[in-house]
Structure 1
């Protein structure tokens, strides 16, 4: 069986594992470990603190620095409230496309690496080849941050990382950061007819969101002159605002889920400092004048560094040789690449499929895209 057909078969197996970020990924991780062990890889399952998830880190070749890391995340986003025309966890082939949750984001790349594992094993020599399959990328890159700590403790640093997020096989050597937060408001309930005797958490959450929207507009003018991102400025998104209990009850609690995508670290500092001043100097004094125990607390869901373009990037050189591409691009979406770069690796993002299909109903991966990925990995095997 050729590598493309083998990749499709493995992808069908991976899609059947419903590894939504809220659920366990252990069955899929163990399945992938089995495939890699059959190829001769040394596998380590790194349990998450919750005990229901794990990273998989595997190695072919010698145990030393300077290896090549193939990286993907095992989790997928939910399918609830999406109208699919087929079962999202039973891959279906139609018109040259492979449909299913996670086909492009990003189990297609993972399947291709697993299909090529026996070929890698037969050719690896002095330079090790690593596989990294993580948990909870979609909820703050928690698994990659955990893996980073483990690699530091081991004193092991691969030299090159290829992160197989969907880029239509374009070479991406820079992307924005992704900072996610949940801000919770605690007020004082009461009867809706007596608003001055309570602290309406929803009203203060709305004022907070209005301030965020003001910062969102202000960030446009802070875009670096030579920014290559689209859009070129740091963005802010309010994902959800929830709170309250009934029409006639002063809302005791509220919650705002929001994120920003910094193009420069100074913008993140600008936003956080402004919010801190707004809460401490305006919102909290008003709230606590009525109820001393009122509070505003922000939980950091994840602060994932961006991928900084580098003039000298071995990963870019290697993938350029493998794909024949002589240019690289920037993207606005985030990946685990910045975490690996912070460890000292040369990193690019390059994988099959388009981000336009990710997170949507009827997510798909074009078979010709998967074929391009397989050919890239076959050429990588020839270099080992």
Structure 2
């Protein structure tokens, strides 16, 4: 009698997308944004649940500097999918400004807006200092207070400021809200997991960036969760880097530019626009043993292969960690001959995985 383990139930898995708006060699910001907005429309058509934009600054290969602006553009080009941030790096911004931006988004796309909040800088120390020239609102130690403020400000009821001398002052992120964006806490540490649990907010561990500590963070979040007006039980999903192609060989080739980008980041080499596949292959001799080790280490946590293989692996990954949703960052690189205003490899990744899952 066979004792083979049954295949995971792929029909139960929902997919979402995390987009950094990658900029490849020779590509303009306008072309990169056009490619990402077309990708959002594809995700909407295919049945993906969410499309989130990350916040990163002063990086030659990343154009996702302003999640609310990009989310508004994506909302205008889609009809069903939820749009939002993955995430807004709150210490860079005034809580009231963030609340107003996402309240406006909620008015543009009612019931389709997610506000993912993180506390990492999203850039280097120089840019972080420039972003945080707003005084006390940029105090990382006040992050919990600012999260609470935003959750109150974007609600239809608004928030009330209480003066030490007595009296209150009502504040609303928008004057006549009928709904509110869904607030998520993002992070890659015990701190973020415990804060989300104590606030009773949904939580996402940044597994696509670093898978270290994933199981501990999820356990802390689930065991320490306190029901709130926002959520009655823990709610989480996972992020993952993914590349799918018609063949495993093509998928591996398309993953190479991102492997090399990770090595540059972690060895303090000068950052450059995303290489094409041909450039990545031609530059193999540029990196030393440490960079090669970093590339190999990063690759072990990614989901790369045919659509069927990636779909199966993502389903098993979700089942292992008890979630029903995975947000993929489609990191497929481009070939030299591919058009600048389209993301052929990233679109192909979504299409092939979705087809294998039967979305």
Place the TM-score, normalised by the shorter chain, in its bin.
Answer: under 0.3
TM-score, normalised to structure 2's length? 0.25
Higher relative contact order (CA closer than 8 Å, sequence separation 6+): 1
Larger Cα Rg: Structure 1 or Structure 2?
A: 1
